[in-house]
């Protein structure tokens, strides 16, 4: 959406934002909206193209509760028509193919091998189901940090204001921030904060999230009660698989209570491990930063006699960062990811291969995803606050085993984990964040709920959350990209 001329407001200072007075603004109780009853004839399948399969049909809270439709302010005759968005409205019958590639197999026809699953195309609609002047929206960032969080917060905030929204809250430090203003000794820095376009104008040039983030704290019934008490119409949840599961739980509870709140997810993970999507925001930036670490390891390894640069990268269950960074660097000799077995011993094992590489060229660069090699160490059986398994450090274990097997090796261990996730988004990710934030707002005003917005086949789509969180997206050990990586590193297929 094109940016509208900003309304003239005083920019709050940091002291003002943190003041008890500002906190009271955020926690002021508002009249509860009346609970709604679903229409008996509600059938979401009739709203979209027949080409959209039933499990990709999103919930439409506007039609479910028969909310009043009104022209978008960007529609012809509306106050913002002159800015041009109205000439590019999306129809609900528009769809995006999840699988544009046709493939043929020996003994099978082309039609047999091709399945054209389609999802609803994202974008602004000509009719909306909420009055922008009366909408109260909230944004929350959950889970670990990721490049681009501030870009998404900025995009959602400015697009809401472009529609005409005046009440936008930032929930501090993840889901637990819904209760940051309730304790008698509550810290005003933990209370929900009011967001404006002036406040978020330059936040994209810093890493992290101005709202903070955290894992856990997801008492869903209590959060939904708080949503009702605060009169929140839109909730935007920026997070990964666990956070989207939380968003889905909130959405279901809102429907059970008859609340007309629209819950929209924006997928965030540098691991790129969310199903259906081309890429998640922050991933490309993480790969860029990881490549810098690999090239530094290469310089260290080449500058030492029998030098080995050992780089540990993020990738709890999916090895996309390690694979892409190893391929992009051009000087990685071994890449180990969670999706493959990593046998250390024997002539065909990892240690023997690294020793051969060092003996041949007097140095080696090894890249290890954090979730690799867990079969060697055994799972701890514990989980973090988000429910993710706590992993053992296989890279450190490999360092010691290599030192034992070849004592003359000079091993340089590099772990850029927090540098990779806490940096500013690159241009590619920043653009993606802007597009995702805009479309999240368009989806909310269009009456959708229980969806996330993501890039599919180079287009932006509205995707039902249940399909996205069925499992983690993994590297295919038989896929082309992994075999390109093997060709680049020259390592055997340990798998």
Q: Which residues are catalytic?
A: 271
Question: Using alpha carbons only, what angle is made at residue 415 by residues 309 and 388, rounded to the nearest 5 degrees?
Answer: 130
Q: Which residues are bridge partners to 460 per DSSP?
A: 455
Measured from the Cβ of residue 358, the count of other Cβ atoms closer than 10 Å reads 22
Residue 238 near residue 140, CB atoms below 8 Å: yes
What is the C-alpha separation between 286 and 292, in angstroms, rounded?
10
Which of these, 50, 47, 117, 128, lies nearest to 86 by C-alpha position? 128
């Amino acid at each position: 959406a094109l940016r509208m001329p900003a309304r003239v407001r005083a920019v709050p200072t940091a002291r003002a934002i943190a003041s008890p007075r500002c906190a009271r603004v955020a926690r002021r109780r508002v009249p509860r909206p009346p609970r709604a009853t679903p229409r008996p004839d509600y059938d979401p399948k009739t709203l979209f193209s027949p080409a959209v399969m039933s499990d990709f049909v999103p919930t439409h809270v506007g039609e479910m509760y028969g909310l009043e439709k009104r022209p978008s302010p960007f529609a012809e005759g509306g106050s913002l028509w002159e800015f041009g968005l109205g000439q590019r409205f999306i129809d609900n019958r528009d769809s995006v193919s999840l699988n544009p590639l046709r493939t043929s197999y020996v003994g099978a026809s082309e039609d047999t091998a091709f399945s054209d699953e389609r999802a609803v195309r994202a974008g602004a609609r000509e009719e909306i189901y909420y009055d922008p002047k009366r909408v109260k929206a909230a944004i929350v960032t959950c889970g670990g940090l990721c490049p681009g969080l501030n870009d998404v917060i900025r995009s959602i905030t400015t697009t809401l204001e472009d529609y005409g929204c005046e009440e936008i809250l930032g929930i501090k430090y993840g889901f637990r921030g819904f209760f940051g203003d309730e304790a008698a000794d509550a810290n005003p820095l933990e209370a929900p904060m009011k967001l404006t376009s002036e406040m978020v104008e330059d936040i994209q040039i810093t890493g992290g999230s101005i709202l903070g983030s955290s894992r856990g704290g997801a008492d869903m019934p209590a959060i939904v009660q708080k949503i009702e008490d605060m009169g929140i119409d839109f909730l935007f949840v920026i997070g990964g698989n666990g956070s989207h599961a939380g968003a889905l739980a909130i959405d279901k509870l809102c429907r059970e209570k008859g609340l007309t709140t629209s819950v929209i997810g924006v997928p965030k993970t540098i691991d790129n491990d969310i199903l259906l999507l081309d890429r998640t925001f922050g991933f490309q930036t993480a790969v860029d930063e990881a490549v810098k670490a690999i090239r530094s390891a290469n310089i260290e390894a080449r500058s030492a006699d029998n030098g080995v640069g050992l780089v540990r990268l993020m990738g709890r269950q999916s090895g996309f960062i390690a694979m892409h960074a190893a391929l992009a660097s051009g000087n990685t000799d071994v890449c180990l990811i969670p999706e493959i077995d990593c046998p250390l011993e024997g002539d065909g094992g990892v240690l023997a291969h690294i020793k051969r590489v060092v003996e041949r060229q007097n140095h080696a660069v090894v890249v290890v995803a954090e979730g690799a090699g867990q079969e060697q160490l055994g799972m701890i059986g514990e989980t973090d606050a988000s429910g993710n398994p706590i992993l053992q450090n296989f890279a450190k274990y490999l360092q010691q085993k290599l030192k034992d097997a070849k004592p003359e090796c000079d091993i340089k261990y590099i772990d850029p984990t927090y540098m990779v996730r806490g940096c500013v988004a690159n241009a590619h990710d920043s653009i993606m964040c802007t597009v995702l934030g805009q479309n999240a707002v368009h989806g909310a005003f269009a009456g959708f709920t229980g969806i996330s917005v993501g890039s599919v086949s180079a287009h932006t789509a509205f995707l039902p959350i249940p399909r996205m969180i069925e499992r983690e997206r993994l590297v295919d050990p038989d896929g082309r990209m992994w075999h390109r990586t093997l060709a680049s590193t020259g390592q055997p297929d340990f798998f």
